[in-house]
Amino acid sequence: MEYRIEHDSMGEVQVPADSYWGAQTERSRGNFPIGVGLETMPREITHAFGILKKAAARANRELVPGRMTAEKLAAIETACDEVANGTLDSHFPLVVWQTGSGTQSNMNANEVIANRGNEIAGAKLLHPNDDVNMSQSSNDTFPTAMHIAAVTEIEKKLLPALTSLIEAFRKLAKEHEGIVKCGRTHLQDATPIRFSQEISGWSESLATDREMILATLPMLRRLALGGTAVGTGLNAPEGFDIMVAKKVSELTGTEFVTAPNKFHALSSKDELVFAHGALKALASDLMKIANDIRWLASGPRNGLAEITIPANEPGSSIMPGKVNPTQCEAVTMVAVQVIGNDTAVGMAASQGNFELNVFMPVCAYNFLQSVRLLAEAMRSFEQHCVVGIRADEAKMHDNLMKSLMLVTALNPYIGYEKAAETAKKAYRENISLKEACVALGYLTPERFDEVFRPETMC
């Protein structure tokens, strides 16, 4: 491999000749060989750096034009576009497990943008610190990148996938209106319910999760940029924080504002904890829904077998013809991961000291993984399972009529204790509720048929 010599404040460093990164990135590559190739800094963060560096350069051009010349701005903007759209992803090799402020990733962005910008300009025009990092610090850029990435990924990936799944369940409910089945509580038979009502519970749970996620966005829209090193805004021009938030909004097409208190913005990650709590709520509901579906599909002969789900692939290497609820299993595994990530995000946020939180990379890594996994799992679940769910009406009716809890319909006519005695007799002697009730002398056969109407109980 061929190398070139780069330098930073600590001296000279050999850097691969074909890379745009510089000395500080190369030092980090050598100092943190942890999770290499597996746990690189999330690309959502890398792309967000392209956005915020472009926004910062535009704000600097307006506020300090003597330092940010039109020529420099043009080179930075073109390089930033390539960072933001992923063209330069291979030039961002650093792992999550680095300095807790994300300093090396900020410098990785500065070096790549400076070197690529110089290549575009055909001259050594840009310095990574003096020009690309102008009016900034790693301490305010990394939390800004976190918030930009969080909002854009939630808006572009998570919410569309969630909304689509909600609509799929609503459509499924309409397709199954009028089907009455046995309800279940405590994993035991309960009073009847319409299958459409059961499905409506699933869709409404997800709709509520969507409301909670939307409620977190206003806080995630607050950007730390402009606080620089400790929140005082040292070396940033007056009004930079407000202007750069406006520029980020223009570039992303969604609203961002400057954080009202930069000391809070640098040292606290509570907005991400709050937002991830909503992601955990979604994961919890998806776990419940996926489990309901695989229980209802259990069988096909020795389970509940009240619904069928798509048979996507063989389920066993030894049992011919076996089909498993694999989409449900994938959703539940994603839910477990997200619930685990919530602990990591919460712990990371709790570890801020004085003017800075130094657990930001791991916080960003877990948060963005949760968003990505939930979005992808919901898309797959909808396409490969939910749209293909079909009720087995005959099985539902058979299970319904076997349910001893239909005896609840008799309460107004014979009272709770006599109804309980009827159910126990029917269970003990393996006879129908009608046979038990008539045998006990509580109702005549004709009166039983008159008041015993399961379809009216839901």
225-272: per-residue pLDDT in tens? 999 999 999 999 999 999 999 999 999 999 999 999 999 999 999 999
Shared domain for 390 and 408, answered yes or no, is no
Residue 15 neighbours by CB under 8 Å, 6+ apart = 3, 4, 5, 6, 21, 22, 23, 25, 26
What does the pLDDT average to over 43-65?
98
Amino acid at the residue 348:
A
My answer on whether omega of the bond before 314 falls inside 30° of 0, hence cis, is no
Q: What pLDDT shows up at residue 6?
A: 92
What does the pLDDT average to over 337-345?
98
In which domain, by residue range, is 154 found?
Answer: 145-217+261-394
Shared domain for 330 and 388, answered yes or no, is yes
Q: Which of 113, 134, 155 is the last residue of a domain?
A: 134
- Residue that the structure tokens 């025009």 belong to: 125
Q: What pLDDT shows up at residue 1?
A: 86
- Neighbouring CB atoms inside 10 A of 50's CB total 26
Cβ burial, residue 281 (10 Å; 0-12/13-18/19+): middle
Shared domain for 208 and 343, answered yes or no, is yes
186 is catalytic: yes
Catalytic residue selected from 19, 90, 105, 186: 186
pLDDT digits (tens, 9 = 90+) for 3-21: 999 999 999 999 999 999 9
Q: Does the CA dihedral 136-140-146-151 come out positive or negative?
A: negative
Shared domain for 155 and 303, answered yes or no, is yes
Query: Rounded CA gap, 47 and 84, in Å?
Result: 4
Q: Is 411 helix (H, G, I), strand (E, B) or coil?
A: helix
Query: Rounded CA gap, 195 and 173, in Å?
Result: 7
Number of domains into which the chain is organized: 3
Query: Rounded CA gap, 422 and 451, in Å?
Result: 15
Q: What is the CATH number of the domain that holds 167?
A: 1.20.200.10
Going by their DSSP bridges, the two strands 390-391 and 307-308 should be labelled as antiparallel
Q: Is 16 helix (H, G, I), strand (E, B) or coil?
A: strand
Shared domain for 382 and 446, answered yes or no, is no
Query: Rounded CA gap, 342 and 38, in Å?
Result: 21
What value does the mean pLDDT of the chain take?
Answer: 97
Please give the backbone phi and psi of residue 331, each rounded to the nearest 5 degrees, phi first: -60, -45
pLDDT digits (tens, 9 = 90+) for 365-422: 999 999 999 999 999 999 999 999 999 999 999 999 999 999 999 999 999 999 999 9
Catalytic residue selected from 7, 90, 316, 350: 316
Q: Answer whether residue 222 is part of any domain.
A: no
Shared domain for 130 and 212, answered yes or no, is no
Element (H, E) at 7: strand 3-8
Q: Kindly tell me if the per-residue pLDDT of 37 is higher than 90.
A: no
Q: What pLDDT shows up at residue 46?
A: 98
Shared domain for 184 and 321, answered yes or no, is yes
Q: What is the CATH number of the domain that holds 50?
A: 1.10.275.10
Provide the percentage of residues in the chain whose pLDDT is more than 90: 98
Q: Answer whether residue 416 is part of any domain.
A: yes
Query: Rounded CA gap, 445 and 437, in Å?
Result: 9
Q: What pLDDT shows up at residue 131?
A: 98
Residue 250 neighbours by CB under 8 Å, 6+ apart = 55
Q: 113, 22 in Cβ contact below 8 A?
A: no
Shared domain for 351 and 419, answered yes or no, is no
